[in-house]
Amino acid sequence: MVYLSKLSRRDVPRMMFWGKHKDPRFYHYNFDVTTEAGFDFWFKSKRQIFQRRIYKVEDEDRNMVGFITIKNIQWFSRQAEMGIVFDPNILDKGYGTAGIYAMFEEYFDVMKMQTLTLRVATFNQRALHTYLKCGFEIQDKRLEAFEFQQINKILMTTSEDFDDFDGVLHTYYYHMSISRRQYEAKKSK
Q: Which of 1-10, 19-28, 54-63, 122-131 has the lowest mean pLDDT?
A: 19-28
| CATH number of the CATH domain containing 100 | 3.40.630.30
* Distance from C-alpha of 71 to C-alpha of 84, rounded to nearest angstrom: 11
Q: How many domains does the chain have?
A: 1
- CB contact set of 37 (below 8 Å; sequence gap of 6+): none
The count of other CB atoms within 10 Å of the CB of residue 75 is 11
- CB contact set of 124 (below 8 Å; sequence gap of 6+): 25, 26
Residue 22: predicted pLDDT? 86
Read off the pLDDT of residues 86-97 as tens digits, 9 standing for 90 and up.
Answer: 999 999 999 999
Read off the pLDDT of residues 142-179 as tens digits, 9 standing for 90 and up.
Answer: 998 887 766 656 666 666 787 778 878 888 999 999 99
* pTM, rounded to two decimals: 0.90
Domain that holds residue 107: 3-187
Q: Residue 114: which of 82, 77, 83, 68 has the closest Cα?
A: 77
Contact 135, 186 (CB under 8 A): yes
Question: Does 125 score more than 60 pLDDT?
Answer: yes
